[in-house]
Amino acid sequence: MTTGEDDRAEERIAELIELIRYHDQRYHSDDASEIPDADFDQLKRELIELETAHPELGRPDSPTQTVGADPSTLFAPVKHRVPMMSLDNAFDRGELIAWADRARRRLVAIHARRAAEEASNQGVLLLAGEPDGKEAGDEGLAEIEEPSVQLGDLVCELKFDGLAVSLRYENGRLVQAATRGNGRVGEDITANILTLKSVPHLLPAGAPQVLEVRGEVYLPLAAFDVLNAQQEAEGKPRYANPRNTAAGSLRQKDPTVTATRGLSMWCYSVGEVQGGPTLTTHSATLEYLEGLALPVNPETVTADSVDAAWEFVNECEARRHDLPYEIDGAVIKIDRLDLQQELGSTSRAPRWAVAYKLPPEEKTTKLHRIQVSIGSKGKATPFAVLEPVFVGGSTVEMATLHNQDQVKAKDVRPGDTVVVRKAGDVIPEVLGPVLAERPDELPEWDFPEICPCPHQQPLVREEGDAAHYCYFPRCPEQLRGWIEHFAARNALDIEHLGEQRVGLFIDLGFISDVSDIYSLDYERIRKLEGFGELSAANLAAAIEASKQQPLARLLVGLNIRHLGDTTSELLADALGDLDKIMAATVEELAEVDGIGPIMAESVHEFFQSEINREIIEKLRAAGLNFAGDASPYEAQALPQTLEGMTIVVTGGLEGYTRDGVGAAIKARGGKSPGSVSSKTTAVVVGENPGASKLDKAEKLGIPVLDEAQFHRLIETGELP
């Protein structure tokens, strides 16, 4: 290319940028377009072509690089004109074959019915599909064979582990992008999607009037590594896995943040289409999308049998770690669109496609040590300290071993090579040792008899209980958890006293038991880094307000073993004030409706402790409300974010008792039963989850959420 040509290109680029900016302004702000949309698009297309031919002349202020959507519409609801479906799952070859058989039989029935209808219109009675109903010699009866239906080709795609989105192009221009949401209504994420380099803002000339493209937004592994390297360099925590990071990146209020994350997209289907070409197969649809410069994954293949599709699945499994992005399975789709149409969908998923979910990934690593962590109620939980290993999409360094019996049953010993996987693809789990690699005479691990804290109090395992406990109320290992629990929403609800501040105040020696919250020295706090006049005053006001919380919440905050939100309320209602509860005998406590003997024992024992009584007296002196009052949940009208949802929780969630999490779900309009069924909207996994609930969720294809995703769900009602 000559310099003269370059100069001309540079001039024309400058001219086009100016023109496009001018018309964009007229279009968006003044609502008075001077040129037809098609002419405007032609200007943009010319600019894109020039910039592609002369990458060195690309300008960062070019409208092809800047966001054209108004960020103020971010997250506004978007109704999908064609619902965004989910997929049914197959977990083995048998289930894949069963899916294809079901589809074939359904098509046979549909075709037979149609043939019968056509024949009866012609006055002939057919017996197709009912061979036993035929009477020999029947006059006027024609017989047909059961229609032979071939499923035809199967399109085999990777199942990308990201977030489903829908892009709407009108006359070739990207006008809206939305998340899947609940399949019928999603959220507007146009401004964020426009920052993705792989998503064209404009399609080439001749694009349909309306084209909705569906696909998966994902974070390539390389981009994930770059982000984590940045986090580490800035001393910030690593992101857990690419999928969650992609979700967080798409949910940014500021599109310039999304732009820095390196998100990408694969397109795999279409929604509403008007004015497009007539296509007869899914594979032709993908080719068509590719022809429009939309990102279509190159790994897709067409298989002529279920066996060939199964081969693809096996290859996916073998190659899953060689790909530069994460997948969680394969998707098999019937290629012929006429058959897809005939098969239709259930309310949840199309019958013409099935997802093969890859089994949770397993890796081996070294088990360095087994340590014990002390929870907020003094529960001592053993956990494995592992040589960091990347498994199931994130690096695992620790995994809970639940309790003494589990360690014994798994027979894992420090120094073993162990097999690790993600349970429900979320919680790291140690499956067991690789015995062949066990060093000779490796000793078993013994549960420590002493709490790891400096007070070195005994760890006690009561009869009939699998867990060990440290009962020392000032155990610093417990303190952090107890204070966080005390300040949590379902307890004293102290805003501005989050995890980080609790940690800071403990480390600085400001707090050594919960009552110290009420004698904080704000003069000193004001001078701490990250605080100031205003934030110290806000904290002081929140702490002051918490003194008025009703007795039931104070009881929750005291963190008494076995006592939850509901039982705290029962106790507060029945006995009226804290002094009466403190003075009650085990028998009197057990007489309260809903309070069992174990709970009564635990409450009684709590108030027998001298240290606990000391703490209670300090709380009394601080002016906390020791008298009964109205239910804290009745007093609040929370946004009904979970209306119509059934959320099953398994395992402990930070900041909630088991009763409390159920109450929090109910208070937001949701249901929270104890078991997983096909009606379950999502399963939330906390610490020490039940394996059966996770297995069932996986079998039924129900989304499994971690704690952070649960918090987002109750805030927004959005499933990830």
Considering only residues 160, 288, 325, 445, which one is a binding residue for ligand IVH as defined by CB under 6 A?
A: 160
Least CB distance from residue 208 to ligand IVH, whole Å? 19
Considering only residues 211, 270, 331, 592, which one is a binding residue for ligand IVH as defined by CB under 6 A?
A: 331
| Nearest CB to ligand IVH, comparing residues 355 and 451 | 355
Q: Among residues 478, 628, 480, 633, which one has the least CA distance to residue 565?
A: 633
Supply the DSSP symbol for 418.
E
For residues 661 and 672, the answer to whether their CB atoms sit within 8 Å is yes
Least CB distance from residue 392 to ligand IVH, whole Å? 17
Length of the chain: 720
Distance CA 421, CA 288 (A): 40
The interface region with ligand IVH, picked from 79-87, 492-500, 576-584, 707-715 by CB under 6 A, is: 79-87
Q: Among residues 332, 207, 337, which one has the least CA distance to residue 285?
A: 337
Is residue 250 involved in binding ligand IVH (CB under 6 A)? no
Supply the DSSP symbol for 72.
G
Least CB distance from residue 165 to ligand IVH, whole Å? 8
Between strands 704-705 and 682-685, the pairing is parallel
- Which helix or strand (DSSP H or E) is residue 310 part of? helix 306-319
The interface region with ligand IVH, picked from 82-90, 145-153, 462-470, 617-625 by CB under 6 A, is: 82-90
b/e code 573-590 from CB counts within 10 Å (16+ = b):
bbbeebeebbebeeebbb
**Phi/psi at 174 (nearest 5 deg)?**
-70, 110
| Nearest CB to ligand IVH, comparing residues 336 and 562 | 336
Distance CA 649, CA 37 (A): 51
Least CB distance from residue 268 to ligand IVH, whole Å? 4
For residues 551 and 628, the answer to whether their CB atoms sit within 8 Å is yes
The interface region with ligand IVH, picked from 81-89, 375-383, 622-630, 659-667 by CB under 6 A, is: 81-89
Residue 342: both structure tokens together: 């005939």
Considering only residues 350, 392, 433, 564, which one is a binding residue for ligand IVH as defined by CB under 6 A?
A: 350
* Among 159, 377, 410, 693, the one annotated catalytic: 159
- Which helix or strand (DSSP H or E) is residue 383 part of? strand 379-391
Is residue 164 involved in binding ligand IVH (CB under 6 A)? yes
Residue 437: both structure tokens together: 């690699």
Is residue 427 involved in binding ligand IVH (CB under 6 A)? no
Considering only residues 269, 404, 680, 688, which one is a binding residue for ligand IVH as defined by CB under 6 A?
A: 269
Considering only residues 20, 48, 87, 202, which one is a binding residue for ligand IVH as defined by CB under 6 A?
A: 87
**Phi/psi at 368 (nearest 5 deg)?**
-75, -55
Is residue 698 involved in binding ligand IVH (CB under 6 A)? no
Distance CA 26, CA 35 (A): 10
| Nearest CB to ligand IVH, comparing residues 160 and 656 | 160
Q: Is 357 a catalytic residue?
A: no
Is residue 85 involved in binding ligand IVH (CB under 6 A)? yes
The interface region with ligand IVH, picked from 74-82, 155-163, 476-484, 658-666 by CB under 6 A, is: 155-163
Residue 355: both structure tokens together: 């997802």
Footprint on residues 174-203 left by ligand IVH (CB under 6 A): 180
DSSP per-residue string spanning 464-521: T-S-EEE--TT-HHHHHHHHHHHHSTTTT--TT--HHHHHHHHHTTS-SSGGGGGG--
Residue nearest to ligand IVH (CB): 164
Is residue 216 involved in binding ligand IVH (CB under 6 A)? yes
Q: Considering Cα of 54, then 57, then 59, then 60, what sign does the dihedral take?
A: positive
Torsion of CA 226, 232, 234, 237, to 10 degrees: 110
Is residue 268 involved in binding ligand IVH (CB under 6 A)? yes
| Nearest CB to ligand IVH, comparing residues 164 and 219 | 164
Footprint on residues 648-667 left by ligand IVH (CB under 6 A): none
Q: One symbol per residue from 540 to 579: x for binding ligand IVH (CB under 6 A), - otherwise; what is it? A: ----------------------------------------
| Nearest CB to ligand IVH, comparing residues 159 and 668 | 159
Least CB distance from residue 87 to ligand IVH, whole Å? 4
Classify residue 330 as exposed, middle or buried by CB count within 10 Å of its CB (0-12, 13-18, 19+): buried
Considering only residues 62, 64, 86, 681, which one is a binding residue for ligand IVH as defined by CB under 6 A?
A: 86
Distance CA 402, CA 27 (A): 61
| Nearest CB to ligand IVH, comparing residues 164 and 536 | 164
- Which helix or strand (DSSP H or E) is residue 245 part of? helix 242-250
Is residue 283 involved in binding ligand IVH (CB under 6 A)? no
The interface region with ligand IVH, picked from 153-161, 310-318, 555-563, 599-607 by CB under 6 A, is: 153-161
Classify residue 78 as exposed, middle or buried by CB count within 10 Å of its CB (0-12, 13-18, 19+): buried
Footprint on residues 355-374 left by ligand IVH (CB under 6 A): 355
The interface region with ligand IVH, picked from 41-49, 85-93, 186-194, 414-422 by CB under 6 A, is: 85-93
**Phi/psi at 570 (nearest 5 deg)?**
-60, -45
| Nearest CB to ligand IVH, comparing residues 283 and 549 | 283
Least CB distance from residue 202 to ligand IVH, whole Å? 25
Supply the DSSP symbol for 351.
T
Q: Which residues are catalytic?
A: 159
What are the residues binding ligand IVH (CB under 6 A)?
Answer: 85-87, 157, 159-160, 164, 180, 216, 268-269, 331, 350, 353, 355
